[in-house]
Structure 1
Amino acid sequence: MNTQTKEVSSNVDVLKYILSLVLISAGVVAFYQFSDYSQLYRVLGIVAIVVVSLAIMLTTAVGRHSWLFAQEARQEVRKVVWPSRSETMQTTLMVFAMVVIVGFLLWLLDMFLFWAIASLTT
């Protein structure tokens, strides 16, 4: 009995996916079909269609899992201890200094290798 329930829900989910894609496709076609109307109205229409399409997608199993994942990710981001402005500036300056130092060392290595190859070939 569970197998039949999963098949029915997955079939319904597939229909919802198709409906969402048809809505978005129709919205894009309508956006270009009604090019003589104001762009503001056309963009608002596309936004409304995307919102309706997302609402339909959220009623599917994948949509519910995606929404749950987004909520859990938001909770985890709230737990992060973000660095202060001074810590960020110090880290950025340290990275910049290391890039300059490594760039200078690579330039010296390149010049040495160029000199070595030039002295061997002449």
Structure 2
Amino acid sequence: MAAKAQTQESGLDTLKLWVAILLLGAGVFGFYSLDDVSVLYRALGLVGIALAAVALAYTTDKGRRAWVFAQDARTELRRVVWPTRTETVQTTLIVLLIVLLVGIFLWLLDMLLQWGFGAITGVGG
């Protein structure tokens, strides 16, 4: 019996998600189709419709799980130890130097292979 109730709730959640998607699509369509109305009013209407669609999606199980995921991601982002400016500049310079060295190596390898194939086949300068 509990499985049946869970299935009905899931069906209702799916319907709510589709309604939220259609509502958002209608808002975007209305934004672009009502080009004779002020951009401010169209933008405010689109933001209002988007908020209504998000609120409707939040009432579903997937919407609540997505909200919890976003909160957890924000919490983890606060725990990150960000590098200092000096570390960032040093790392960037090292990466640029290595890219330059690898580029020069590949250019020299290309020149060597071109010369070798030219010497073997007699084609090229």
TM-score range, shorter chain: over 0.9
Give the residue type in structure 2 aligned to 1:37.
V
Instruction: Give distance in 2, aligned partners of 1:56 and 1:117.
Output: 67
CA RMSD of aligned residues (A): 1.2
- Runs of 5+ in structure 1 lacking a partner? none
- Tell me the TM-score normalized by structure 1: 0.93
Gaps spanning 5+ residues in structure 2: where?
none
Once superposed, which parts of structure 1, at least 4 consecutive aligned residues long, lie more than 6 Å away? none
For residues 38 and 55 of structure 2, what CA distance do their matches in structure 1 show? Answer: 26
Q: CA deviation at 1:43?
A: 1.3
Q: Deviations over 1:56-99 (max 9, x none)?
A: 10110111111111111111111111000000000000000000
Q: What is the rounded CA distance, in whole Å, between the counterparts of 1:73 and 1:19 in structure 2?
A: 27
- Report the equivalent of 1:29: 29
1:118 aligns with 2:110: no
Give, in whole Å, the separation in 1 of the partners of 2:19 and 2:99: 52
Give the aligned length.
122
Aligned counterparts of 1:26 and 1:115: Cα–Cα separation in 2: 63
CA deviation after TM superposition for structure 1 residue 21, in Å: 2.2
Within-5 A mapping of 1:36-55: 36-55=36-55
